[in-house]
Chains A and B, each alone.
Chain A
Amino acid sequence: MMKLRVLEEYVVKALMVLACLIVAGSLVGVVAVMLVKGLPVLRLKMLVQVSQGGSSLGQEGGILNAILGSLCLGLGGTLGAILLALPIVSFLQRDYGGRTLFGKFTRLALDVLWGIPSIVYGAFGFIIMLYLGIRASLLGGIIALTLVELPIMARGMDEVARLVPMELKEASYAVGSTRLEVTLKVTWRQCLPGFVTAVLLAFGRGIGDAASVLFTAGYSEFLPRSVMEPVASLPIAVYQQYLSPFPEVQQRAYVSATTLLVIVLLVSILSRLSAARFARHVVR
């Protein structure tokens, strides 16, 4: 009897290690496949040239249009999401409506928005664009990405903002601060490291999101010049080029995917480093 129990323990432990290895292996596998396929065909000139002669036929050129387009989309979407997320998160504080029914519904709405698939945001963004009368463009992509990033950012920010001790704010209220002053000078300052992490997390998700920009941003072989023009992006470059019969074009898809992966990994590392750096503003 004793032996059976101990045996069971060993078997389960082995299975657990196996499970962890599968999960870790899938992460390592994805990175490895991208490096193996992307790095050998990577030429520096690919990164500094725009693609030429049709996205799936052109055998010349590089992916500069997609890199810059993705950065514009990602930065625009992140900026939009920051402008919306900051007041929402401030509202969710106890100072405003955090404890009210209204506050509860706002949190619920954020949860719901968080779960909505990005393809649905793409479709909704497209409806907005039809309504406003704009075609597939940088602006359309930014609108869609703002919506995709908003719940990710707001939930991340809310998680840290909830931890601000009430005593800290009360000290400020006691000397006559208004709610705005407490929010700006106590809450935001206290949450700065967490906010930066949430912003970077949302940026990483936004720049890699393909389904929402597919019909809102379109594709272009040129560098973005105005917000009303269609713009290329790395995920869409991968999506349009990986099935190409021309090896040169296919390689461009691999390089695009590798570049995207590297950007996302860098942002992830950056968010860990920056969180530590901004922590010096926090009162403990």
Chain B
Amino acid sequence: MQTAEWPTDTELPTTSRAVRKLADRVATAGVYAAASFTILLVFAIGVALLAKAWPVLTGKPLARILFSSVWKPSRGEFGFYPFILGTLWVTVLAMAMSVPVSLLAAVCLAEYAGRRVRAVAKPLLDLLAGIPSVVIGLCGWLAVVPAVAALGERFGQYTTGLCVLSGAIVLAVMVFPVTISVCEEVLRSVPLQAREASMAVGATHWQTVKHVLLRAVYPGITAAVILGFSRAFGETMAVLMVVGNVPQAPHSLFDPAYPLPALVANSYGEVMSIPRTESALMLAALILMAVVLAFNLLARLVIRRIRSRVVVA
């Protein structure tokens, strides 16, 4: 119901027409400027990073930069191979751990849980998403790293616990909120009739989920995984604190790794005096941005197509 009272005559705007029109013009210019700023910012970030990375990019063929493992800033050798491989190991492993759990939790929340459980779960997920990455990293360092070290010992592998597995566990926790909330959203976008049709012919709830729902939202789940992946790919602090930061390509779960974001964060302070190294680090940031950007756009494309196809009640 409309509860506000009608303004009386004395409260009606007395500002002159010209002033009101001028204010409107100025505001219009302002909002258009702000919107242009948003679009320009994306290009500005890309161009600035590219310009800074240019000296290293043009120095050697791109393939040699990406696939060489020699990282000797003092000699101008920048091989990103160990860092790219380290990023991939940690991220892929994290997704492999996170996706099945997220999917099951999302199905549980969207299909099985009652309204009350959902009302509690949603804020808790937001809370988990909001925990600063240094805090998660510190917890990983205090709790996950010793556990992984003990695990490595049982498998007969010497490890300090600062390794790919620890990084992946920490990342998996950070990816949960992203994948769960997107999966839940797409699951709930399926119309109720689809479930009713399946259950009417005698399918159990899980059979309905398996044969009807998951098949219907398959692209949406792909999108959730891609979004989670791109979140994990750029995550810096939490991974940096538990992954060991040794610039070598890892060969097992218990080997240390040195992902790209950690490289940028760790070496920035030391190398400001060497312009070539700064350029190489900017290239690392550019690679991160390019990969994350491509993945994000892909995921959004998929989500948009689903939204246009499924009528959300």
A positions within 8 Å CB-CB of B: 5-6, 8-9, 12-13, 15-20, 22-24, 26-27, 29-30, 33-34, 37, 84, 87-88, 90-92, 96-97, 102-103, 105-106, 108-124, 126-128, 147, 150, 154, 178-181, 183, 201, 204-205, 207-211, 214-215, 235, 238-239, 242, 253-254, 257, 260-261, 264-265, 268, 272, 283-284
How many chain B residues touch A (CB < 8 A): the figure is 88
Of A92, A115, A207, the most chain B CB neighbours within 10 A belong to: A115
Q: In the assembled complex, which residues on chain B have CB atoms less than 8 Å from the CB atom of A242?
A: 138, 141, 241
Among A34, A91, A178, point to the contact of B24 (Cβ < 8 A). A178
From B57-65, B76-84, B123-131, B151-159, give the one contacting chain A. B123-131
Majority SS at the chain A contact face: helix
Q: In the assembled complex, which residues on chain A have CB atoms less than 8 Å from the CB atom of B28?
A: 96, 179-180
Of A22, A119, A204, the most chain B CB neighbours within 10 A belong to: A119
9 tightest A-B contacts by CB? A117-B234, A208-B132, A87-B34, A19-B104, A115-B296, A16-B108, A178-B24, A91-B31, A211-B236
A205 to B231, CA, bound (A): 14
Q: From residue A215, how far is it (CB to closest CB) to chain B in Å?
A: 5
Majority SS at the chain B contact face: helix
Q: In the assembled complex, which residues on chain A have CB atoms less than 8 Å from the CB atom of B207?
A: 5, 8-9
From B36-44, B187-195, B216-224, B246-254, give the one contacting chain A. B36-44
Of B34, B48, B231, the most chain A CB neighbours within 10 A belong to: B34
Q: List 21 A-B contacts (CB under 8 A).
A: A13-B206, A16-B105, A17-B108, A23-B101, A30-B135, A30-B139, A88-B38, A96-B32, A97-B32, A115-B227, A115-B295, A116-B293, A118-B234, A119-B264, A120-B49, A181-B24, A211-B261, A238-B135, A242-B138, A257-B138, A268-B130
Q: In the assembled complex, which residues on chain A have CB atoms less than 8 Å from the CB atom of B32?
A: 91, 96-97
Q: In the assembled complex, which residues on chain A have CB atoms less than 8 Å from the CB atom of B128?
A: 23, 26-27, 30
**Contacts A8-B204, A13-B112, A283-B4 given; does A23 touch B180 at CB 8 Å:** yes
Contact A268 B204 (CB under 8 A): no
Contact B176 A117 (CB under 8 A): no
A23 to B125, CA, bound (A): 9
